[in-house]
Amino acid sequence: VGFREDGEGTVKVANTVSSYDDGEFPAEPIVGKDGDGKTKMVRKEGDEAHWWHYVQCGQSGAFEAAQGKGSSPSPRGLNLMVHGNVPVAGGLSSSSALVVASTLAFARAHDVSLTTTELGHAAWQCEAKVGTMGGGMDQAISAMGQE
Protein backbone atom coordinates (compact mmCIF):
# COMPACT_ATOMS: atom_id res chain seq x y z
CA VAL A 1 0.00 0.00 0.00
CA GLY A 2 1.58 3.23 -1.16
CA PHE A 3 0.39 6.60 0.09
CA ARG A 4 0.80 10.32 -0.22
CA GLU A 5 -0.72 13.11 1.81
CA ASP A 6 -3.82 14.86 0.51
CA GLY A 7 -5.03 18.03 2.22
CA GLU A 8 -8.72 17.41 1.50
CA GLY A 9 -9.58 15.65 4.77
CA THR A 10 -10.55 12.35 3.17
CA VAL A 11 -8.84 9.09 2.38
CA LYS A 12 -9.06 8.04 -1.26
CA VAL A 13 -8.24 4.43 -2.10
CA ALA A 14 -7.52 2.90 -5.49
CA ASN A 15 -6.28 -0.50 -6.62
CA THR A 16 -3.91 -1.39 -9.45
CA VAL A 17 -6.49 -3.98 -10.52
CA SER A 18 -9.10 -2.03 -12.45
CA SER A 19 -11.98 -4.37 -11.55
CA TYR A 20 -11.85 -3.05 -7.97
CA ASP A 21 -13.84 0.13 -7.41
CA ASP A 22 -12.18 3.20 -5.91
CA GLY A 23 -13.20 4.15 -2.39
CA GLU A 24 -13.29 7.22 -0.21
CA PHE A 25 -13.87 7.69 3.51
CA PRO A 26 -13.22 10.36 6.15
CA ALA A 27 -9.68 10.97 7.42
CA GLU A 28 -11.15 10.82 10.94
CA PRO A 29 -10.90 7.11 11.90
CA ILE A 30 -13.62 4.98 13.46
CA VAL A 31 -12.19 3.92 16.81
CA GLY A 32 -13.36 2.36 20.05
CA LYS A 33 -16.70 0.99 21.09
CA ASP A 34 -20.23 2.32 20.76
CA GLY A 35 -22.50 3.16 23.70
CA ASP A 36 -23.47 -0.52 24.06
CA GLY A 37 -19.83 -1.62 24.33
CA LYS A 38 -19.82 -3.13 20.83
CA THR A 39 -17.00 -2.60 18.34
CA LYS A 40 -17.72 0.35 16.04
CA MET A 41 -18.01 -0.93 12.48
CA VAL A 42 -16.56 0.72 9.35
CA ARG A 43 -19.83 0.22 7.51
CA LYS A 44 -23.41 0.24 8.67
CA GLU A 45 -25.50 -2.91 8.48
CA GLY A 46 -27.21 -3.08 5.10
CA ASP A 47 -24.56 -0.93 3.38
CA GLU A 48 -22.81 -2.48 0.41
CA ALA A 49 -19.50 -4.15 1.30
CA HIS A 50 -16.39 -2.99 -0.56
CA TRP A 51 -12.81 -4.27 -0.59
CA TRP A 52 -11.61 -0.89 0.65
CA HIS A 53 -13.46 -1.36 3.94
CA TYR A 54 -10.48 -3.56 4.88
CA VAL A 55 -8.24 -0.54 4.23
CA GLN A 56 -10.49 1.53 6.48
CA CYS A 57 -10.06 -1.15 9.17
CA GLY A 58 -6.31 -0.61 8.89
CA GLN A 59 -6.84 3.10 9.46
CA SER A 60 -8.72 2.32 12.69
CA GLY A 61 -6.05 -0.17 13.74
CA ALA A 62 -3.22 2.33 13.35
CA PHE A 63 -5.04 4.98 15.38
CA GLU A 64 -6.12 2.55 18.10
CA ALA A 65 -2.53 1.27 18.33
CA ALA A 66 -1.30 4.87 18.63
CA GLN A 67 -3.82 5.54 21.41
CA GLY A 68 -2.62 2.39 23.18
CA LYS A 69 0.88 3.88 23.15
CA GLY A 70 -0.34 7.21 24.54
CA SER A 71 -0.24 9.05 21.21
CA SER A 72 -3.01 10.95 19.45
CA PRO A 73 -1.93 11.78 15.90
CA SER A 74 -4.03 14.25 13.93
CA PRO A 75 -5.81 12.48 11.07
CA ARG A 76 -4.52 13.42 7.61
CA GLY A 77 -6.17 13.08 4.27
CA LEU A 78 -4.34 10.50 2.15
CA ASN A 79 -4.36 9.01 -1.32
CA LEU A 80 -3.60 5.29 -1.21
CA MET A 81 -2.78 2.86 -3.99
CA VAL A 82 -3.08 -0.86 -3.30
CA HIS A 83 -1.20 -3.53 -5.21
CA GLY A 84 -0.92 -7.17 -4.27
CA ASN A 85 -0.55 -10.67 -5.59
CA VAL A 86 -2.29 -12.72 -2.89
CA PRO A 87 -5.18 -14.52 -4.63
CA VAL A 88 -8.60 -13.32 -3.47
CA ALA A 89 -10.82 -16.01 -1.93
CA GLY A 90 -8.03 -18.55 -2.33
CA GLY A 91 -7.72 -19.41 1.35
CA LEU A 92 -4.47 -17.43 1.66
CA SER A 93 -5.76 -14.66 3.94
CA SER A 94 -5.82 -11.87 1.37
CA SER A 95 -8.11 -9.76 3.55
CA SER A 96 -5.81 -10.08 6.55
CA ALA A 97 -2.80 -9.21 4.40
CA LEU A 98 -4.62 -6.10 3.18
CA VAL A 99 -5.53 -5.05 6.72
CA VAL A 100 -1.92 -5.51 7.89
CA ALA A 101 -0.52 -3.54 4.94
CA SER A 102 -3.11 -0.80 5.45
CA THR A 103 -2.45 -0.59 9.19
CA LEU A 104 1.25 -0.20 8.45
CA ALA A 105 0.63 2.48 5.80
CA PHE A 106 -1.59 4.54 8.09
CA ALA A 107 0.85 4.14 10.98
CA ARG A 108 3.76 5.36 8.85
CA ALA A 109 1.71 8.22 7.36
CA HIS A 110 0.95 9.42 10.89
CA ASP A 111 4.42 8.82 12.38
CA VAL A 112 3.26 5.94 14.58
CA SER A 113 6.02 3.41 15.24
CA LEU A 114 4.84 -0.20 15.60
CA THR A 115 6.84 -3.37 16.15
CA THR A 116 5.83 -6.32 13.97
CA THR A 117 4.11 -7.83 17.00
CA GLU A 118 2.15 -4.62 17.64
CA LEU A 119 1.30 -4.40 13.94
CA GLY A 120 -0.06 -7.97 13.84
CA HIS A 121 -2.06 -7.42 17.03
CA ALA A 122 -3.51 -4.09 15.84
CA ALA A 123 -4.54 -5.62 12.50
CA TRP A 124 -6.12 -8.60 14.24
CA GLN A 125 -8.15 -6.36 16.55
CA CYS A 126 -9.32 -3.94 13.88
CA GLU A 127 -10.39 -6.54 11.32
CA ALA A 128 -13.47 -7.07 13.51
CA LYS A 129 -14.64 -3.64 12.30
CA VAL A 130 -15.51 -5.12 8.92
CA GLY A 131 -17.41 -8.00 10.51
CA THR A 132 -14.82 -10.76 10.56
CA MET A 133 -12.80 -12.00 13.49
CA GLY A 134 -10.07 -14.57 13.18
CA GLY A 135 -7.67 -15.90 15.73
CA GLY A 136 -4.82 -13.55 14.85
CA MET A 137 -2.56 -16.06 13.11
CA ASP A 138 -3.28 -14.70 9.61
CA GLN A 139 -2.42 -11.17 10.68
CA ALA A 140 0.66 -12.33 12.60
CA ILE A 141 2.14 -14.16 9.62
CA SER A 142 1.42 -11.19 7.34
CA ALA A 143 3.13 -8.85 9.81
CA MET A 144 6.03 -11.06 10.88
CA GLY A 145 6.60 -13.50 8.03
CA GLN A 146 9.93 -13.61 6.28
CA GLU A 147 10.91 -14.71 2.81
Catalytic center residues: 138
Amino acid letter at 141?
Answer: I
Contacts of 2 (CB under 8 A, 6+ apart): 80, 81, 83, 105
Separation CA 115–CA 99 (nearest Å): 16
Q: What distance lies between CA 73 and its chain's CA centroid?
A: 16
